[in-house]
Structure 1
Amino acid sequence: MSDPRHLVLWPVLAQIGLTFGLYVWLSAMRLLAVRRGEVEFGCFEFGRDEPAPIARITRNLSNQFELPVIVFACVALLVALDRVTWVDVAAAWLFFAGRVIHTAVQTLTDDVRLRGRVFVINVLGCAILVAHLCLVALGH
């Protein structure tokens, strides 16, 4: 059977891939909007007057540097301390799945209520990792 210390890295790498994918998508959408004459490049300096579809991608990309950072830190510490469990692997995948769903809802719809419900998946995955790290810190 595979080592959970290695397997927990895959959802982290997938999250990094999602972030890079959002950069590519955002860049393509911005370039397309400029080429169509919908906006000028200057509107992207501060995010003012961005077309709504682009603004949603911009905001979602920004979200990738919020809660995921806590997950990255927890995974890194659990790996470094050699305390990764199968629960951590499942929690990391749960978190990533939630990020994918959250990204789809935030970038493709304007349904803020659904986005909030989906965010609970992310919080749950992150909370499990944080709870385990707290137990490790307490000597358990």
Structure 2
Amino acid sequence: MSIQAVLAPVFVQVLLTFWLLIWTGRARFAAARAGAVRVGDIALGQRSWPAPVQQVSNAFANQFELPVLFYALTALALLTRKADLAFVVMAWIFVLTRIGHAAVYVTTNTVMRRFQVFLAGALVLMAMWLVFAARILLAPAA
């Protein structure tokens, strides 16, 4: 696979992360300006933000959990030249589940739906790691 094809889902995941960062900042400033939260209540990171602000903030923070394993795997797959069409398809599925997870988080925040989307992404990422590990460990020695 081309480097562009392998990295395209990574770029979308990074774009999602930055989008949620900007949304979080805007929501926090708006809440503070509106008096919905006192600066002293959140100075040390307490969760005193109004629920909609906290939802966006949590969606942003979640981009530094499972996606970290996705980024590491993509780098390793590129380095070892083990990124093929199956890898790219699974990468896109993973990124779509991250978008879905964030969408649920910042809208309805239905916990069961959010968990289902999270679990789907986690299983896809786990499959990606298992396939990658098998390709590395079962490859003939050079």
TM-score by length of 1: 0.91
How do 1:1-140 residues align onto structure 2 when only pairs under 5 Å count?
3-44=1-42, 45-140=44-139
Classify the secondary structure of the residue corresponding to 1:39: coil
- Unaligned residue ranges in structure 1 (runs of 5+): none
C-alpha displacement of 1:35: 1.2
Aligned residues of 1:23 and 1:61 also touching (Cα < 8 A): yes
Aligned residues of 1:39 and 1:50 also touching (Cα < 8 A): yes
C-alpha displacement of 1:76: 0.4
- Unaligned residue ranges in structure 2 (runs of 5+): none
Structure 1: how far apart are the matches of 2:4 and 2:48?
44
- RMSD of aligned alpha carbons: 1.4
Larger RCO (CA under 8 A, 6+ residues apart): 1
Counterpart AA for 2:28: R
CA distance 1:42–1:18, change in 2 (3 Å): farther
Counterpart AA for 1:134: A
Q: Out of 37-46 and 26-35, give the one that drifted further.
A: 37-46
Residues 58-112 of structure 1 show CA distances to partners (whole Å, capped at 9, x for unaligned) of 1111111110000111110010011111000001100110001100101112310
Equivalent pairs counted in the alignment come to 138
Classify the secondary structure of the residue corresponding to 1:46: coil
Counterpart AA for 1:102: H
